[in-house]
Amino acid sequence: MNEDAKTKFLKALRNDIKTGEYQKVFSGLNRISMHTDDFLMQSKYAALFKAIPKDALALGEVRIAILATGTVSHFNDILSYWLAGEGLSAVIYEAPYGTVHQTILDPKSGLYAMKPDVVMIFTNYRDIKCDIPAGSSHEEAERVVKGAVGEFISLWHALRQNSDCYIMQNNADLPFHRVFGNYEGTAVWTRLNMLRNFNLELAKSVLPGVTIFDLDHISSAYGKKKWHDSRYWYHSKHAFALDATGLVAYDAAKVISATRGACKKCLIVDLDNTLWGGAIGDDGLEGIRLGNGPDGEAFVDFQKFLLKLKNRGIVLAVSSKNEEKIAKEPFLKHPHMQIKLDDVVAFRANWNDKVSNIKEIASSLNIGLDSIVFLDDNPAERQLVKSILPAVSVPELPEDPSNYRAALSSLSFFETVLFSGEDRAKTAYYRDNIKRSEFQEHFTDLSGYLENLDMEMTTGDFDSFNLPRIAQLINKSNQFHLTTTRYTESELKSVMEGDSSHCMYFKLKDCFGDNGLISAVILRKQGAETLSVDTWVMSCRVLSRGAEEFVCGRIVSQAKRIGCKKIVGKYIPTKRNRLVALLYERLGFKKVREGGGSTFWELDLDENTPPVYRTFIREAGKECI
Amino acid sequence: MDRAENDIKKRLNRVFRETFGDEKLEVFETMTAVDIDAWDSLMHVVLVVAIEKEFGITLNAAEVGKLENVGMMLTTIKKHTRK
């Protein structure tokens, strides 16, 4: 849609606002808005979005404090708009202009009063104090860089003392102008190299719960010369080109959403003209373009890029209109094929429509449609999936495969603020799971299957080694999550050090492999004799294998050990966690109360017959690190 | 008022309507932020950017600061479009 068409469309949406068709306005905005659109278009999206009453859309609240050294009022509105696209309704606190330090250092400031989930410290290169005399030594340069970074580290510590918020700190958007010209890339003491070192040092210094917002990348991608259009800096302290506001707000919204655990987990790809040039069914193994020729090389590089995504934990699946045997041929025999069948967790080459294939893949992997990205070179297929499965992300692919990588990358689908070793092994986990279900087909009864799985559970108390994975599990689990709690790593640290809380994690192995850390439980002692289940999350990879019974058994023994006579738990319903609505009932708890959709459960340990949970899981003993 | 001038005023009026979302708005030369409720410093920036885009011109920082009424806007636009 070109800009004139968009402007007309917006006019129509303004009328829909008047008649109260808010959902229609919002989905209309989502359909036409691009983060690359210019400042005026972004302002229009933001203004229309602002006119929608907050409770008209089912969005989860996120509280954000923005502490900026430039003018960010426009940015805030546009950020709110893009956050809504992530399912979040932003409450934004904007610190008075130029009061970053004062606001953070004053425990009584409005910042802390608003109880932010995320604090964005929003600076620009002008704020970084690392000018040193030309010709200074390496040691001197290093000292000054460390000092400049230290200033921010102390702000983070000060924030930490008063808040459990997630901290987003941007790095320096390197300037366009250079005093020494090309030589600024040579000597360490030049402004440009000092700022480069500042950015690296800043990254090295992050604490748990701090993430670097890579403003320098955004400015480079946008183009330094345009980015540093200083007219509106001198006029009204806008730190970067107004037309880049959409790009910055979009990426910030993705990162903020990632701090809440939202993420894409699976990339479903088409084959013909997506992974290779031509159609395998028509052109045959020798006829497809892969490896040789300009676009053949582009497809190889695109496959390498997808493999790198797979290696960081995004699982790959295939949906293609083909005969399965023919579609698999390149994977087995083509010398330039980078992706092998082992890299793919679900392979659907058939003549069904792609919507059914995608739904099937989602349910076989036990993931939500909103964690799927679908890649297809065919606009008709994309349109079909978009219109029937709006939760699936369907990026436009350019005509030329040379630009596939950039197209996928520029949409920032796979943002994360954490990386754990578990991510690397994710494809193996999912693949083993599919083997398990094939294995299950050999058994006529469930207990025979479970027994032969030869499962072994390792349990332990939360520790700093496992904390990144635990935080990830708590923040990313939607289906098996009873209480909707979310904790940052630093919040978890204070929880696990608290006297009244008991935090356990569980790791499961079986004959097919290691499932890794699959469950975490936070228990809090209430009064002398009650143990309350604050948080219980479990990976859906291990459902229906007795793991929930095993975990509950450990909760019971923990309760007994510390002299509790009662365990209380609650279920807060969300769109995604119906799976566990009756979990407590299944585990022998009694429902004691209902209210606001939530249910409250109790297990009395004083009764004559305390529950015994039968599982086929061996205990490996406590893990000690 | 010659035709070119009239044309500029018409286009400027359209920019105002679009920016403030008011289809009935009519600009006049002495009109300032006092005359439009929504015209605050924030909207001023949006308005100036919209003018730059409509007329395909790039104002310098000093000019941006001086555009306090419609008359100044017309003069500045004329100056830039004559070049």
Choice among A10-14, A20-24, A621-625, B11-15 with the minimum mean pLDDT: A621-625
Check if CATH label 1.20.1290.10 holds for domain A56-259.
no
Task: Report the 3 state secondary structure along A295-334.
Answer: HHHHHHHHHHHHHHHHHCCCEEEEEEECCHHHHHHHHHHC
pLDDT for A121 equals 97
Chain B CA closest to residue A238 = B45
Find the closest chain B residue to A42 by CA distance.
B46
Spell out which residues of chain A touch residue B66, defining contact as CB-CB under 8 Å: none
Residue B38 touches partner A, C-beta closer than 8 Å: no
CB contact under 8 A, B61 and A230: yes
Query: Does B64 contact A235 at a Cβ distance shorter than 8 Å?
Result: yes
Per DSSP (E only), the strands in A134-282 are 166-170, 210-213, 266-269
- State the average pLDDT for chain B: 90
**A416-430 pLDDT, tens digit each:** 887 777 777 777 777
* A328-387 residue pLDDT tens: 999 999 999 999 999 999 999 999 899 999 999 998 888 899 999 999 999 989 989 988
Of the candidates B50, B58, B65, the beta carbon closest to that of A235 is on: B65
User: Under a CB-based contact definition with an 8 Å cutoff, are residues B13 and B27 in contact?
Assistant: yes
Contacts with B16 from chain A: Cβ below 8 Å: none
Whether the per-residue pLDDT at A611 is higher than 80: the answer is: no
Overall CATH class of domain A266-409: alpha beta
Residues of chain B with Cβ-Cβ distance to A38 below 8 Å are 53
User: Do residues A173 and A219 lie in contact, with contact meaning Cβ atoms separated by under 8 Å?
Assistant: yes
Residues of B in contact with A236 (CB under 8 A): 41, 45
Distance CA A248, CA A246 (A): 6
Residues 6+ apart with CB under 8 A from A511: A452, A453, A454
Å from B52 to nearest chain A CA?
Answer: 11
Tell whether B59 is within 8 A of chain A (Cβ): yes
Phi first, then psi: give them for residue A610, nearest 5 degrees. -65, 145
Mind telling me how many Å the CA of A80 is from chain B's nearest CA? 16
Report angle CA A541, A546, A551 to the nearest 5 degrees.
90
- Do A184 and A177 meet the contact criterion of CB atoms below 8 Å apart? no
Distance CA(A607)–CA(B56), nearest Å, equals 81
Sketch the domain layout of chain A as residue ranges. Answer: 56-259, 266-409, 445-622
Residue of A nearest to B59 (CA): A231
**Cβ separation B49–A40 shorter than 8 A:** yes
Distances (CA, A) of B40 to A57, A89, B34, B49: 29, 25, 9, 14
Per-residue pLDDT averaged across A271-297, rounded? 92
For residue A14, the chain B residues in CB contact (below 8 A) are: 21
Is A481 a residue whose pLDDT tops 50? Answer: yes
Dmax (CA) for chain A in angstroms is 83
CA distance A326 to chain B (A): 54
Contacts of B18 in chain A (CB under 8 A): 7
**Distance of alpha carbon A585 from alpha carbon A567, whole angstroms:** 13
Helix (H, G, I), strand (E, B) or coil at A300: helix
Q: Tell me the percentage of chain A whose pLDDT exceeds 90.
A: 69
Q: Is the pLDDT of residue A465 over 50?
A: yes
A91, A165 contact by CB (below 8 A): no
Cα angle A620, A621, A625; round to 5? 110
CB A271 within 8 A of CB A327: yes
Q: Using the Cα atoms of residue A439, residue A440, residue A441 and residue A445 in order, give the sign of their dihedral.
A: positive
CB contact under 8 A, B49 and A242: yes
> Per-residue pLDDT tens for A101-160?
999 999 999 999 999 999 999 999 999 999 999 999 999 999 999 999 999 999 999 998
Strands A166-170 and A210-213: parallel
Identify the contact set of chain A against chain B, taking CB-CB distances under 8 A: 7, 14, 38-40, 43, 47, 73-74, 230-232, 234-236, 238, 242
Q: What is the mean pLDDT of chain A?
A: 91
Domain boundaries, chain B: 3-82
Which pLDDT value is given to residue A624? 42
In this complex, do B50 and A40 lie within 8 Å of one another by their Cβ atoms? yes
Superfamily of domain A445-622: Gcn5-related N-acetyltransferase (GNAT) (3.40.630.30)
Assess contact for A319 and A358: CB atoms under 8 A.
Answer: yes
Question: Which tokens belong to A405?
Answer: 């990588």
- Cα of B28 to nearest chain A Cα, Å: 23
Q: Which of A39, A47, A230 sits opposite B49 (nearest CB)?
A: A39
Question: Which of A14, A231, A242 is closest, CB to CB, to B61?
Answer: A231
Provide the pairing of β-strand A530-538 with A513-526: antiparallel
Of B46, B60, B65, the CB nearest to A43: B46
Domain B3-82 has CATH 1.10.1200.10: yes
Which pTM does this prediction carry?
A: 0.78
Length of chain A: 625
Interface test with A, best of B22, B41, B53, B59 (most A CBs within 10 A): B53
Q: What is the pLDDT of residue A596?
A: 85
CB contact under 8 A, B61 and A47: no
Residue A282 has pLDDT above 80, yes or no: yes
Inter-chain CB proximity A232 and B60 less than 8 Å: no
Residue A78 pLDDT > 90:
yes
Contacts of A74 in chain B (CB under 8 A): 42, 45-46
Q: Which two tokens stand for residue A47?
A: 């203004």
The whole-number pLDDT of residue A625 equals 41
CA B69 to the chain's CA centroid: 8
A239 to chain B, closest Cα gap in Å: 14
CB pairs under 8 A between A and B: 34
B65 touches chain A (CB under 8 A): yes
3-state secondary structure of A217: helix
**What mean pLDDT is predicted for residues A268-274?**
96
Distance of residue A410 Cα from the nearest chain B Cα, in angstroms:
26
pLDDT confidence tier of residue B25, bands split at 50, 70 and 90: very high
Query: Per residue in B22-31, is it b (16+ CB within 10 Å) or e — as a string?
Result: eeebebeeeb
Write out the two tokens for A234.
């001198």
DSSP-based three-state secondary structure for A349:
strand
Q: How far apart are CA A619 and CA A218, in angstroms?
A: 49
pLDDT of residue A452: 82
Q: Is the pLDDT of residue B2 over 80?
A: no
| Minimal C-alpha gap between B42 and chain A (Å) | 7
Q: Is A581 helix (H, G, I), strand (E, B) or coil?
A: coil
pLDDT grade for A164, boundaries at 50, 70 and 90: confident
Q: Which of A599, A565, A595 is nearest to A583 (CA)?
A: A599
Q: Do A74 and B45 touch (CB under 8 A)?
A: yes
Same fold for the domain at A56-259 and the one at A266-409? yes
Shortest distance, CA B64 to any CA of chain A (angstroms): 7
Residue whose token pair is 């300037």: A175
User: How near does any CA of chain B get to the CA of A140, in Å?
Assistant: 37
Q: Which residues pair with A434 in a beta bridge?
A: none
Rounded to whole angstroms, the Cα distance separating A490 from A163 reads 10
